Each structure stands twice: as structure tokens, then as C-alpha cells.
Structure 1
């Protein structure tokens, strides 16, 4: 007796055919969704922008921590006379800035005052970083001045 391949295979039942069709539909739906996701440039750009924003926030936090640590280390190594001179210079700078501010309010155009106010607000928001940079520059300046 010879067996033919057709004799070994059984014809699928209607339930098996429905299951195969449902499985194929599911796979096709996943494939279409994946293709749609790849072609949605706006969504991909927004996702990438979100990732970059998160990375930038993490890096900014790291830099702030490093700046604070460096400032602390530098300040702990400064001799008292240098600290006193820096404090005195800071007081003189505040006084001069107050005088300049009063003069600015009297003589500057309103549009320029608005832009300056916006810049000042940004500086206040990033004050610790700016103070750390100023402290570092002051230390370098004082160190060069001594030599």
C-alpha cells in the first residue's frame, strides 16, 4: 500500500480555519501598527525631544552638583583675608549695581527695560550656577594677582 501526502494530511476543520484567520489578522494588525508608528514623524520627533529634554535635565543636575562641590572646596581652602576681600568687593559691587539700577530706571527705554528684566529673571533662575562660576573666577583672579 502506498501512502500519498494528501492522505496523511487532514483537511482543517472550520474552527481551525477561523483560528488561523484570527491569528493572521492579529499579526497583520501588529505589522500595520508598527509601520504606522515608523511613519509618524511628529510622534517620533516628540518622543526624541522628550528623551533629549530628560537627558539635559539630568546633565544640568549633575553640573549643578559639581559646581556646588567645587565652590565648597574652593571656599574651604581660601584664607580668611581673601574671603574678607571677596566679601568687601561683593558689597561694593552691590552698591554700584544699585546705583546703576536707579540710573537705568530713569533713563532707559521701556522696551529695553523689559528685555533686561527677562534676562535678569533667567539669571535668578540659574543663580547657583552663576554664583559658582563667579566664585571660581574670583579665586582665579586673586590667585593670579598674588603671583
Structure 2
């Protein structure tokens, strides 16, 4: 801003001069305020801290949203994996059930064969009266076994 020489009149009327003075005061006030703001280190530091606080809050909100999205994705993936594992477990259980059934059938056949062999041996080697009264002999043997177990319990 350049100032005119002092000997030249800058305003034609006192009213214009007042307006110029008022304008100059206003501009000078703004300049002084700007200089004061620049030299006020505490206020500038607080302003900068406020900006950083806002940035930090924004970043925290962004990270929180990202975390929520990631958690939802992981939850969905976990649910899918759980379903897959459940299906695999069911398939494996069916396979084991089939294997067990096959093994049980095989063992059942073996037991039947052994029972038939035992019956043949019984018929060949057991004395005639025992063969004729097989049910009675088995009943007596069972009764003796039960009596022995009861006597043992009583002694304890």
C-alpha cells in the first residue's frame, strides 16, 4: 500500500477523509491481528492439536469400520467352514457306520459258524443224558454261577 505525499489532499471532503481513515484503521487492525496470530505460539499449537485430534478421530472411526467389515467377513467364512466340516463329518460318520456294519455282519457270520461247530462237538462228545436235558443243565449252571456271585458279594 503506497501512501500519497502529505502535501497533496487525498480526500475532497471531510466525509471522504473520515472514510479513508476508517478504512485505513480497519486494514491496520487486520494486519495487527494477523501478526498477533502468527506470534501466538500457544494458540497455533492448540489449533494444530485440534486438527490432529480431528484427524485421529476420523482415522479411528475409519479403522473401526474396517474392523467391523473384516469381522463380518471372518464370521461368514467361519460359518461356511463349519458347514463344510459338518458335512465332511457326516460323510465320514456314514463311512464308518458302513464299515462297522460290514464288520459286525462278518463277525456275526463267524459267531454263527463257531456256534454251529460247537453244536456239532456237543452232539458228538456230550453224554446222551446231558444232550437230552441240555436246557436243564444250562439252567443249573446259571443258578450255580449266580449263587457264587451272590456269596462273593456277601463276603465283601
TM range (shorter): 0.3 to 0.5
What TM-score does the superposition give when structure 1 sets the normalisation length? 0.46
Bigger Rg, which one: 2
**Bigger relative contact order, structure 1 or 2 (CA pairs below 8 A, ≥6 apart):** 1
TM-score (norm. length: structure 2): 0.44
